[in-house]
Structure formats: structure tokens, C-alpha cells
Structure 1
Amino acid sequence: ITCNSFPCGLLAGSVFGAVIAILGGILIPVGDMIIERTVKKEAVIEPGTTAYDNWAASEIAIYRQFWFFDVKNPQQVVQEGAFPEVQEKGPYTYKTRYLPKANVTFNPNNTASFVLPLGAIFEPSMSVGPEEDTVTSLNLAVAGAYSLLPPASHILLDMVINSTNSSLFQHRTVKELLWGYHDPILKDTIGLFSPYNGTTDGPYNVFTGKDDISKLLCGAKDEPELTSYLFVFRSVSASYEKTMNLKGIEVYRYSLLPSTLASPVDNPDNKCFCRNYETTKNCTLAGALDISSCSDGRPIFISLPHFLQGSEYLREVVLGLHPDEEHHKTFLDVEPITGFTLNFAKRIQVNMMYGPAKDITVLNKVKDHTLLPLAWMNETATLDDKTADMFKRELLSRIDMLEIVQQVLLIAGVIIFCVCLIAFFCVRRKSKANLG
């Protein structure tokens, strides 16, 4: 058998197939390295990268939806000590985070500092009614003053409440409750988010990911605002829930761990959020965190909407609450290759505590401390079709093409190698049989 014979050609074909298969196999780790290098380069927060353009001034619209808890029996609560009965009213939707980050500064330690200009634009088409809709809600000044002032001052406070024709509850518009109104007791402007428009949030200081991509956008200082993008004043952890498809892109959904709002008895990390043993049933209540130390001493608590994952007691003393995992949980959807968050819903409920006070007329019939929901917020954003198409075209399609090339080379090489080698042995056996 000479080198120019058919069997020799088959043997050469099997070698060629083996080379192609090996090349396909080599491309797998090499391709992964190329993908990882490209992703890291584009994910770093620095001018010129895809991540920076989206981070500095995101084109994805972020909305805040508000639902208010309208108290249906305010007179019975004040005059008879009845449990408050509430009815959810909303959503009232505002476009937020539409202003680009300001005062962006890149620091030598691979961090970036910035502030977030705040603004809110009402979106009537995404709301159940106008901002002028009225809600019966807890009187923030009465509940706050009762909590801040010592019992010896309650008689004086009662006189002020009566002289201003105030009560435990008040009728206010959605706009007033959110962005502020002039309170007759405090002689000042107060509101759930007052002041807001025209102010800034921050400063923030986050890692750019240049030296370590795993630290991308993590807080660079031990400040509550920097360690959390889900809760104000509280760092949180999320756990993997499931894999989902978002506009043709595979994403991993992460949700808050149940331990986030667990009672200090079950989660010692929450012990600093239990400041009053009486109002928290010896720190056994779950589902609400006391942030009064971050709100000038006012009895403000944060929770998930409708006290989701909270103690049953919280829903026994406030009637009309119906927690639902699907509509009230906080989650974020992360694209696993880049680590970009493509969809999220941050849901927080603001609550205020009030309790019995014998020297305050509007509180002397109250039987126990009550944590009353004021409103809950859903801050949400999702990938739009234009950005999703760009993401798939610029990154995912290239990754898919590389994987296809890898697989074609590997499979084709193995097939050529096997076919040629089998054919070679068959021809060789036939040739030996003919010679015999």
C-alpha cells in the first residue's frame, strides 16, 4: 500500500478529523476565556464601556407605584378603641430615576463617587386616579409627637391637638401625603417623601469592577445606603429562586431571604432594629424593622407590603390586609453571563406606630400599640424591547455563534475521524483477504 493509495487517504482523513475535533475541543476553554474577557471589559464602570453608558444615564424607565391604606373606620378607632380597618387604594405611579447621575468622580482605588438627583413625574395613564384623590390616613404629626414627647408633656400635646382641630387620622390628598403638606401642629412641611423633587440622594461610593469584577457596584464604604439597593437603612441578601426567560434572554431570579425580616429571636442580626420590647412583644415580632433611629426618632417601621413574611399578630390588629407572594415580594432578575440586572421590583411598605396615652384624648381609648400601614411602594424597571434586541445582538448572538462553531468542529471532527478510521480498517481487511 503506497501513500497515494485509497487506504492512505482514509488514514489521512481520520487524522484530519482528529485535528478538527481537537481544535473544537480547544475552542471551548479558549472561547470561554474570550467571552469572560469581553464581558469583564464591557461590564466595568468606566467611560467607553457599555456598562458605563447604561449606568450613568439609564435609558430604562424606572417607575414608583404607590398604594395607600385608606382607613375606613377612623371614628370607631378613636372613640371605641376598635381595630383599624384599611382598604388598599392605588396604584399612583411616578416616573423616577430619569435624571443622570451627577458629580461622577473616579477615584484611584477603583471606585466611583456620585449623587443621584431626585425627581418624580406623575403618570396619569398608569394610575387609578389623579394626585388629588383623598386618603384617610394616620396623622403623622400626632403619632410622631406622641412617640417623641415624654408622658409629662402629653397634656400640653392634647391641648395643641384640640386647638388645631386635629385627630389621630386625617384626610389628605395623595400628592400631600407623598411630597408634603403644611402641618398645623408642627408648623412645618411634612410628608412621607418630603422633601424630594430638586434634592439629591447620596453621595454613593461604589467599586467600578476594574480590579475585581465580583465587587462591581458594591458599596466601598460601610454606609447603609451603599450596601443596599433594595432597602433604605438596611443591607439585604437575596437567594436564587429560579431560571426565567425575559424577552428571549435567560435570567436568574433572586428574592429576599426570609431571614431579612425575621424577628431578632430567629435572626440576631436584626437585634438593632428592635428598640422597644413592649411594642415588639419582647422582640418576637417578625416582618417589620424599626428604623426610628434613621428618621429623627419618629416611630417608622419598614416591611414588605401587607406584612408579607410577618407575624400573624400584625394582620390581626389591622383588618383588611392580604399578603400575596407574587404581588408583594421583592426580586431582581440577573443575566448570568454579564451579571447585569435586567428586571427588578423593589417593594417596601412604610408603617407608623401609635399606642395608648391616657392624657391624649384621641389616644386614650386605644387598647394596644398598633403598627399601622401608611403606604407601600413598588419601584420597578424592566428591559425594553430595543435594549433587549441590542443585548442579544451584541453579546448573546456572538456567544451563541462561538458555541455553534465549537460544537460543529467537535462533532464534524469526531464523525470524520470515526468514518475514515473505520473505512481504513475495512479496506485494509479486504485487501488482506484478497492477498490471502
Structure 2
Amino acid sequence: MANEIKSNDNNSNQRQQQRMAIILLIITMFGCFLYMKFTDFLVIALQSQLQINGDPNDFTKNWQDPPIPITIDAYIFSIDNPQEFASGHSRAKIREMGPYSYRLAIHKEIVSFEDDNRIVTFFDVQKFYFKNHESHGQLSDRVNVLNFPAYAMANMVRGMIASMPFSFGLNPIVFSLVSLLFLTHGESMIKQNLTAGQLLNGYPFRILDTIDRLAAPLRLFGIELPDTGMPDNKFGFLWTKNGTKNGPYQTYTGQDGTDLLRMVTFKGQYQLDFYDNDECNALNGTEGSTLGLNVHRDRYYYLFTHDLCRSLNVIYQQDTWVNGFHTYRFGPDRNAFAAPRKNPLNRCFCRHMDNENLCDGIFDLSKCLAGAPLAYSFPHFLYAHSDIRTNVENMRPSENRHRAYIDVDPITGSPFNGVDKIQINALLEPIPYLSGYSDVRSTILPLLWMQKSAKIDDKLSGELRLALYPIYAVYIIIYLLFFGGFSLLTIHIARWSYQSYKIRTNRTMMTNVVNTTDEKKPPSRSSSTEPLYQQQQHNHQVFRLIINNNQSK
């Protein structure tokens, strides 16, 4: 009887253990589902907030006027042997000067919304403010640099003559006139003792004033000269960008499930028209303010850059932390500007297919700058072919110092920290019949490189933490639900298994004891002879009863 009660208790306990295991398993599976899908649910919940709209929300305001402080550091390459280099007797000896630091203010000027507010049209406006105390040089520093506007003009004239019949006969005549024009305006190939401030903030290019006066009669007949891209006839690497409107851009607003800030058109075109390949002309990716929502490590992302005249892909590098926030670091592929043999997608960007080494690490901008002989590269020709790097002296590329990267929030794709680094180079070639330009070596000459850096400060970090506390709380609950449920389930199963093992062990031991006792105990009436003995006693009692009845009679 006691054994039966104990067996029933064990069975009841087993059922309770099973029910508890099922409950913990359900909790763990539910927590696992929420843990794995938390980012997706969060993105869905945030989509209504992460949109560009006409009634500006906080996201739209921060996009229009980024609150993250942005700094531009300009490093100028001064030529220490201008005469020897211009005469073709030696390579250019480069000396890096700077940085000259500027604060960059960006403003997105919204023009209109279209397609039921699914598309926004805007201009990108940038302004530069010199930061004297943070610079390692003064704007009054003297530098020797290529007279780029004069060389660009001569190069444009050469291209125009080359497209005409009998160009070989025109070259001596036309370039004699150009030489006279340069001589009267004091424009030599190397601009010596130019100040850093003039090179960056702009200086007058007087030849354009003369050309404007000479071309005035042509305007009476409706003939306009091509736009030089130099406002007020001044040249400067920041002057041409300072306060000018880039665009217009058209991007998706993120409403109705559209990809946030993904490019639609640029200057009214759905693709560029600079290159002979649709892939190179494609407006891939976003306009640069974000990588898009829900960023993944294993995906390629594209950023369209107006200055590059193309979309540039960035790839995952590593996980990072910025002011306590977990971020993903992305950066340009080392083959972003590589020769076509290394990166076949760059075939349409290379002008020198007969010598791909001249394209290896260099991105030619001349097609999108009306023939202006400029090219981009990473600073100090990082990842460029050795022929390019050794053609000038004192180039010292370093990945740690010259590689670009961006640390983005995985949820919103917004940058929390980043450094964009690019070098501007002149595609320098000798120009026959032009005094002072005919003897120079063919060189990809570095002019300067710029570093644009931005990082959220402590104040903005604190505001973000306050805004993210509810999300952190939900995430912690889900985390505890999953890992807590899994831990409890593991402990419960281990404990249940141990108890089951003990019960089985006890039963086995009791069975062995009973069997051993039965084997040693001798037979008795209570065992095998008990039934026969009881039958005999019963028969004897019946017999005695019958005798007693007969005697009474």
C-alpha cells in the first residue's frame, strides 16, 4: 500500500516537472524570437519618426542642420623646388603644411515634396569658418603650388584645338596668344609665395576679368562663354564650395515604406551622364547622411557624393563603441579607386586603358568637371600604384592616418563618428608651344588633401541616452526573458534529470534487496504449503461438526 502511494506521488511530481519544463520552454522560445527580431520590431516602430516631412519633426530638423560638429582640416602640399620641377629637371619635392582647420556648417534647403510626400527635393549648402586656434598653421603661410586655374584654362584650349581640323597648324598660333595673355597677367605655371588663405579661400584670377571684357560684344549676339565654375572670377579650393548650392537632390523621405534618403535624381537626372556605362552612372545608395535603416554587417552600402561625381561603396570593417554607443564601422574598399584589372567595375572610370597603372588608386574627375584636369585619391596616394607615388617625393601613405571610415548606429544608420579623407591632384602634362608649360614632366601632382571629421559630443550623447532609455529597458527585459528563461530551463532539466536518476536508483536497490531475501529464506507454510494446510483445517472442522450433530440426536 505504501509503495502504491509513493508511486503515485512520483508520477504526480513527474507531471508537474513536465508542465514546468513546457512553460519554461515556451518562455525561452518567445524570448528568443523577440531577441532575434528586436531590431526589426524597433525599426518598424521608429519608421514613423525617422522620416523627412514638411512639418519638421526632430529627425528632419537634425537632418537639415546636423547638430554634430564638423571639422575640415586642409593639408597643403607646397613644392620646394618650383624652378627645377617646372623645367622638367627633377621630380616635385613635396612638403605637407597644415592642417588649416575650418568649421563646416551644412544646411539642407528643402524645395518641395512630391509623390504624396514620398520624395523630397532639396539643395545642399555648405559654409566654412576658419578655426585659428585649432589650426597648426596660419592662413598667412607662404606656399608654392601649381597655378591650377591657368593650367586648366590652357588644358581646355588644347582640348578645343584638338577637336578642330588642322590642329597641328593651329597649336603654335593659338598658344602664342595664350602665352602672351599669361605673360601680361603674370601667370606662370607655379604660383610662388601664395598664401594658404588665398589657396583655400580664393584669390582673383584676373585673366577671366579680361576675357569677360573681350567677350562683352559676343553677348550682344546671345553668345555666352562656358561657365568656369569660379564665382566672381576667383579661384580657391574652398571658395568654389563656400555658400554655393549643390544639387538639387531628390531622395525618398522614408514615408510609406520607402528607403530613407535613397537617391532618386540629381540635378533632375535619374542617372549621371559622365561615363559610358550605366553601372558607373547609377545613383546608388543614399545622399550621405545615413546608410539607411537597420544596417547589417554583411551588406554593401553606397553613398552618392557630389564631389566625387559617383556613388562610392563602403564595406563593414569592425564593431566599435562611440561615447558608450555600440556602432558598426564602415569604410571605402581599398580597391575603390583601383585599376580595372583589380576592380572591373572601375573600367568606365579609367581614361588610360593603355596604361592601367595611371588609373590604379586614382579617380579621374575631368569627365564631370568640364575637362578640368583634376583627380581624387586617398591621401599620400594610399593604395595607389608605386609609379604614381614615386613620381613625386615625400609621399608617406599610412593606413592608420589616411584611411577613411564612418561609425554608424545599426538601427538608424546615422553616423556617430566618422572621418572622410580625400586628396586632390592635378593631372599634369606638358603643353607644347606654351611658354613655361612645355617642359614639365607628366605627373599626377598632389595639391592638397582634406579631412572631414565629425563625432557626437557629450551633450548630444546625453540627449540620445535619455531618448533611448525606454528602448534600453525593453531590450533588457527581452534579454532577461530569453537568457533568464533559457538558464531556468537548463537548471530545471538538470534537476529533473537528477531526481529521476535517484528514483530509478532507489527502485533498483529495493528490487535487489527483495530478490536477495527470497533466495536465502527456507520454504514455510506461509509460502508454498499455506494453501494446502488451510484446506485441511477447513475439512477437519466440517467433519467435527457432523459428528456433534449425530450425537445430539
Normalising by the residue count of structure 2, what TM-score does the alignment of the two structures yield? Answer: 0.70
Query: How far did 1:69 drift?
Result: 0.4
Q: 1:205–1:226: 8 Å Cα contact kept in structure 2?
A: no
The answer on 1:370 being equivalent to 2:443 is yes
* Cα shift readout 1:148-184 (whole Å, capped 9, x = no counterpart): 1133421111112221222111132233222321112
Q: Which residue of the partner structure matches residue 183 of structure 2?
A: 162
Query: How far did 1:430 drift?
Result: 5.0
The more displaced of 246-255 and 62-71 is: 246-255
Query: How far did 1:433 drift?
Result: 7.1
Alignment of 1:34-433 (within 5 A): 34-42=38-46, 44-47=50-53, 51-79=59-87, 81-99=89-107, 101-103=109-111, 105=113, 107-108=115-116, 110-150=118-158, 151-152=171-172, 153-170=174-191, 171-187=193-209, 188-212=233-257, 215-221=259-265, 222-223=270-271, 227=284, 228-229=303-304, 232-275=308-351, 281=355, 284-366=358-440, 368-389=441-462, 390-391=464-465, 393=469, 395-396=471-472, 398-420=474-496, 422-423=498-499, 426=502
Q: Which residue of the partner structure matches residue 20 of structure 2?
A: 16
Alpha-carbon distance in structure 2 between the residues aligned to 1:384 and 1:325: 25
> What one-letter code is carried by the residue in structure 2 that aligns with 1:305?
P
Query: How far did 1:19 drift?
Result: 0.3
Q: Which residue of the partner structure matches residue 279 of structure 2?
A: none
Q: Which residue of the partner structure matches residue 34 of structure 2?
A: 30
> What one-letter code is carried by the residue in structure 1 that aligns with 2:237?
L
* Cα shift readout 1:396-434 (whole Å, capped 9, x = no counterpart): 554244212321122123323542564366468758977
Unaligned residue ranges in structure 2 (runs of 5+): 159-170, 210-232, 273-281, 285-302, 515-553
Higher RCO (CA < 8 A, seq sep 6+): 1
Compute the RMSD of aligned alpha carbons: 3.2
* Cα shift readout 1:305-335 (whole Å, capped 9, x = no counterpart): 1111111122222112111112112222233
Alpha-carbon distance in structure 2 between the residues aligned to 1:284 and 1:80: 19
Alpha-carbon distance in structure 1 between the residues aligned to 2:271 and 2:129: 29
> What one-letter code is carried by the residue in structure 2 that aligns with 1:137?
V
Unaligned residue ranges in structure 1 (runs of 5+): none
> What one-letter code is carried by the residue in structure 1 that aligns with 2:194?
R
Alpha-carbon distance in structure 2 between the residues aligned to 1:340 and 1:80: 48
Q: 1:424 to 1:338 in 2, by over 3 A?
A: farther
Query: How far did 1:265 drift?
Result: 4.3
Tell me the percent identity: 24
| Structure 1 moving runs of 4+ over 6 Å | 431-436
* Cα shift readout 1:185-208 (whole Å, capped 9, x = no counterpart): 233212223333332222222233
Q: 1:298 to 1:406 in 2, by over 3 A?
A: same
SS at match of 1:260: coil
The more displaced of 169-178 and 82-91 is: 169-178
Alpha-carbon distance in structure 1 between the residues aligned to 2:20 and 2:7: 15
SS at match of 1:185: helix
Q: 1:80 to 1:422 in 2, by over 3 A?
A: closer
Q: 1:158 to 1:396 in 2, by over 3 A?
A: farther
Alpha-carbon distance in structure 2 between the residues aligned to 1:32 and 1:251: 18
Q: 1:190 to 1:223 in 2, by over 3 A?
A: farther
Q: 1:332–1:345: 8 Å Cα contact kept in structure 2?
A: yes
Query: How far did 1:285 drift?
Result: 3.3
Q: 1:185 to 1:258 in 2, by over 3 A?
A: same
Q: 1:144–1:298: 8 Å Cα contact kept in structure 2?
A: yes
SS at match of 1:362: coil
Instruction: Answer with 1 or 2: which has the greater Rg.
Output: 2
How many residues are paired up?
A: 432
